[in-house]
Amino acid sequence: MRQLTDGVWQLSGRPANNVNIYLLGDVLIDAGMIFDKGRILAQVANHAVTAHALTHGHIDHYGASHAVCTELGIPLWCGAADREAVESGKMVTRYPPGKLPAAPAHPVARSLAEGDTVADFTVLDTPGHSPGHVSFWRESDRTLVCGDVMFGYNPFLLSGGIREPIRAFSVDPERNRESARRIAALEPELTCFGHGPPLHGPDALRAAVDALR
Ligand SMILES: [Zn+2]
């Protein structure tokens, strides 16, 4: 686990930066795939964790949520419109139903909505990739955790620059572009993606979003 800025840590993984999990203060953000339970528990062992929040209810973000919440005895929080998917162990995409594997279901203790506070971050509703996708924004130092509103690179090639997420996995790609324009307009100094390395400065994100056609 490495510290990115005040109160923000990124968990280590292999390949690095590929399926990202963060700690904001004492709140674990996302939980990777089902097999990521071990790396999460090992890395947060010496760190207080009191809650677990999701950017969205896709299987590469809440795969290990059930195991981690159960093991640590902490509540699970997610965007209101993703609650049903997480509590039933499914995920909402445009991809034909039944073709994607599910993640273990877990009850959601708190539905997140625009303006809520998580650690010292503000919840932003950023729907499109999933119906209840949220981002976490700290105005004081312009730090953003944006989940899959944008990818930091191509997660299969581990390179290639900032891009929109795979359209077949976005329930509403046009709505996601609205969310992408919103986060770019924040001009974050640090952007923490669901997939891809942390980005410093607002310019590359702005350019990638401006290039979406
Ligand atoms: Zn993802």
For 161-210, how does the pLDDT look when each residue is reduced to its tens digit (9 = 90+)?
999 998 888 999 999 999 999 999 999 999 999 999 999 999 999 999 99
Distance (Å, rounded) from C-alpha 10 to C-alpha 28?
A: 10
Query: Has residue 93 got a pLDDT over 90?
Result: no
What is the edge-to-edge ordering of all strands in the sheet holding 110-112? 2-5, 8-10, 22-24, 27-29, 51-53, 76-79, 110-112
Distance (angstroms) between ligand 1 centre and the Cα of 195 equals: 6
| CA 194–ligand 1 middle distance (angstroms) | 6
Q: How confident is the model at residue 155 (pLDDT cuts 50, 70, 90)?
A: very high
Distance in Å, CA 58 to ligand 1 centroid: 7
Using the predicted structure, report yes or no on whether residue 98 has a pLDDT greater than 70: no
**H or E segment to which residue 207 belongs:** helix 203-210
Dist. CA 61 → ligand 1 center (Å): 6
Number of neighbours of residue 59 by Cβ within 10 angstroms: 19
pLDDT given for residue 213 in this prediction: 82
Would you say 198 and 4 are in contact if contact means Cβ atoms under 8 Å apart?
yes
Homologous superfamily of domain range 2-210: Ribonuclease Z/Hydroxyacylglutathione hydrolase-like (3.60.15.10)
- Model pLDDT for residues 36-63, shown as the tens digit of each residue: 999 999 999 999 999 999 999 999 999 9
Q: Report how far ligand 1's centroid is from the alpha carbon of 3 (Å).
A: 21
| Overall pTM > 0.85 | yes
* Structure-token pair, residue 106: 């877990």
Q: Token digits for 172?
A: 């509403």
What type of residue sits at position 74? I
148 C-alpha to center of ligand 1: Å?
A: 5
CA of 60 to the centre of ligand 1 (A): 5
pLDDT at 99: 54
Q: How far apart are the C-alpha atoms of 48 and 44, rounded to whole Å? A: 7
Residue 80 has pLDDT above 80, yes or no: yes
The closest alpha carbon to 20, from 170, 171, 151, belongs to: 151
Would you list the domain boundaries of the chain?
2-210
Check residue 100 and give its pLDDT. Answer: 61
Distance, in Å, from the CA atom of 54 to the CA atom of 77, rounded to the nearest integer, reads 6
Residues 6 or more apart in contact with residue 200 via CB below 8 angstroms: 189, 190
Cα 23 to averaged position of ligand 1 atoms, centre (Å): 17
Hey, is 38 helix, strand or coil?
Answer: helix
Kindly state the tokens that stand for 39. Answer: 């790396």
Please tell me the distance from the alpha carbon of residue 198 to that of residue 195, in angstroms, as a whole number: 9
Distance, in Å, from the CA atom of 159 to the CA atom of 197, rounded to the nearest integer, reads 10
